[in-house]
Amino acid sequence: MADVHLALVHYPVYNKKGEEVVSSITTLDVHDISRICRTYNVSNFFVVTPLKSQQELVDRMIQHWQTGYGSEYNPTRKQALLKTVVKRSLEDVIDDLEEKTGEKPKTVATGAKQSSQSVSFEILSKEVADPGNILLIFGTGWGLTKELSEKVDCILEPIKGKGEYNHLPVRAAIAIILDRLLSEK
Amino acid sequence: MADVHLALVHYPVYNKKGEEVVSSITTLDVHDISRICRTYNVSNFFVVTPLKSQQELVDRMIQHWQTGYGSEYNPTRKQALLKTVVKRSLEDVIDDLEEKTGEKPKTVATGAKQSSQSVSFEILSKEVADPGNILLIFGTGWGLTKELSEKVDCILEPIKGKGEYNHLPVRAAIAIILDRLLSEK
């Protein structure tokens, strides 16, 4: 069984107009995704932003629920946030994992668009069943930039629901993808 | 294939102390769940609250994205909210569906606890494949009350991730359950 890690990327991503931007941290995303990661036993959840003030915001939030008033008020949040850390870039995430595990993780980009290089859930599930380190990468805003998606080891096929509508919140996409890859069937 | 409907219940639910309360509407829940329902082609998404001011809040929100400034600013939200309606009680939801479809829907409660009457995802998936009307019921706050769960036709088994932690946000639970029951495999 591989160790699965997750990165929520706030740069480089697209905005509504297709411009490359830094998106803002949504603290609710950090809470929700931490709880989802904890449920599926994800090894590390990296919140990626190059902005120092936003890094500090996430750090303060984690600290509040880890050691502050929040840790007594809601212990399940404390537990959820144990594996949540902030990094300033995806390169830093990969370096950190290489340092901890002795190998570069396999990088897997996600997104709403089908690509000619897309791998299926079935294939990725098989890789997850083998030992190794897999980093699932999710974009905020209007998704990961093309340039970033071209640098990863593979791209996971998009979630198909029923019909044409494909505008899932990133929180929901993460829940569905982790469930498909990691739940005990 | 059954028509699947979804109710997000704000009363009767438990609070943190296990008391029966009316929980507050979270507008982000309404947005997220509307988008998730639209992705999986859910027929109706009912937001259930007995509080008039909260009903009005949801109605105003829907109107903003349907016909107000929001409908131009973000058409995908407009689409997502097309099937979202407010009801004051679960009884009203069931009456409404009976009136529209000519039959009472099969009511299915969800929750984080295993029950002796729990039905599996496998069994419910088979029922979803047959014609009919199925109403999936989700509680906000600390979950649906025992009394409500005893009145429904069946209770869906809880989502098991990996390990003991089972505190998924309701938004995430809905995404996972709809994907398990309705995605094209």
- Encode pLDDT of A64-111 as tens digits: 888 877 778 778 888 888 899 999 999 999 999 999 999 999 999 999
CA dihedral sign of residues B84, B86, B87, B89: positive
To the nearest whole Å, the CA of A133 is away from the closest chain B CA by 17
Would you give the end-to-end CA distance of chain B in angstroms?
14
Collect all residues of chain B within an 8 Å Cβ-Cβ radius of residue A31.
Answer: 169
Of B167, B179, B184, the CB nearest to A35: B167
Q: How many CB atoms lie within 10 A of CB B97?
A: 23
Nearest-by-CA chain B residue for A159: B183
User: How many Å from the N-terminal Cα to the C-terminal Cα in chain A?
Assistant: 14
Structure tokens at B92: 């009203």
What are residue A138's DSSP bridge partners? A8
pLDDT for position A185: 66
Mean pLDDT value across chain B: 93
Contact between chains at B162 and A76 (C-beta distance less than 8 A): no
User: What pLDDT does B74 receive?
Assistant: 79
From chain A, the residues in CB contact with B174 under 8 A are: 172
Contact B32 A172 (CB under 8 A): yes
CA A113 to chain B, closest CA, distance in angstroms equals 14
Percent of chain B at pLDDT > 70 equals: 99
Q: From CA A87, how far away is CA A100, in angstroms rounded?
A: 15
Question: pLDDT-based confidence at B185, cuts 50/70/90?
Answer: low
List the single residue in A39, A162, A165 with the smallest CB-CB distance to B166: A39
Percent of chain A with pLDDT over 90: 81
A177 lies in some domain? yes
Closest by CA position to B165, among listed A56, A178, A54, A151: A178
Q: Which domain holds residue B36?
A: 3-182
CB pair distance less than 8 Å for B39 and A179: no
Nearest residue in chain B measured CA to CA from A76: B167
ipTM of the shown complex: 0.94
Banded model confidence at residue A117, pLDDT cuts 50, 70, 90: confident
| Dist. CA A175–CA A161, nearest whole Å | 14
CATH of the domain at A170: 3.40.1280.10
Burial A52-65 (b: 16+ CB within 10 A, else e): eebbebbeebbebb
A183 interaction partners in chain B (CB closer than 8 Å): 159-162
Among A92, A46, A84, A49, smallest CA distance to A63 is for A84
Residue A129: the pLDDT is 95
Q: Give the pLDDT mean for A114-142.
A: 94
Number of domains in chain B: 1
Chosen from B168, B170, B185 to mutate, greatest number of chain A CBs within 10 A: B168
Å between A51 CA and nearest CA of chain B: 25
Distance from CA of B47 to the nearest CA of A (A): 18
Q: Which amino acid is at B14?
A: Y
pLDDT tens-place string over residues B27-67: 999 999 999 999 999 999 999 999 999 999 999 999 888 88
Q: Which helix (H) or strand (E) holds B107?
A: strand B106-109
Q: What is the distance between the alpha carbons of residues B73 and B79, in angstroms, rounded to a whole number?
A: 12
Instruction: Give the tens place of pLDDT for each residue, B139-149.
Output: 999 999 999 99
Which residues in chain B are contacts of A76 at CB distance < 8 A?
Answer: 165, 167
pLDDT of residue A115: 83
Helix B121-129 and helix B170-182, axial crossing angle in degrees, nearest 10: 60
Global pTM value: 0.95
How many Cβ pairs closer than 8 A exist between chain A and B? 113
Determine contact, residues B159/B118, Cβ cutoff 8 Å: no
In a domain, A34, yes or no: no
Burial group, residue B167, by CB count within 10 angstroms (0-12, 13-18, 19+): middle
Q: Considering only CB atoms, which residues of chain A are within 8 Å of chain B?
A: 28, 31-32, 35-36, 38-41, 76, 79-80, 159-163, 165-169, 171-176, 178-180, 182-184
| A chain contacts of residue B80, beta-carbon cutoff 8 Å | 165, 167
Residue A145, CA atoms < 13 Å, CB-side half-sphere: 17
Where are the alpha helices (H) located in B47-169, listed in sequence order? Answer: 52-66, 69-73, 75-80, 90-101, 121-129, 146-151
Residue B5 CB-half CA count within 13 A: 25
Residue B49's Cβ-count burial label (10 Å; 0-12, 13-18, 19+) is buried
On whether residue A61 sits in a domain, the answer given is no
Q: What digits encode the pLDDT tens for the residues B73-109?
A: 778 888 888 899 999 999 999 999 999 999 999 999 9
Q: What is the identity of the amino acid at B115? A: S
Residue partners of B149: CB distance under 8 A and separation at least 6:
B109, B111, B115, B155
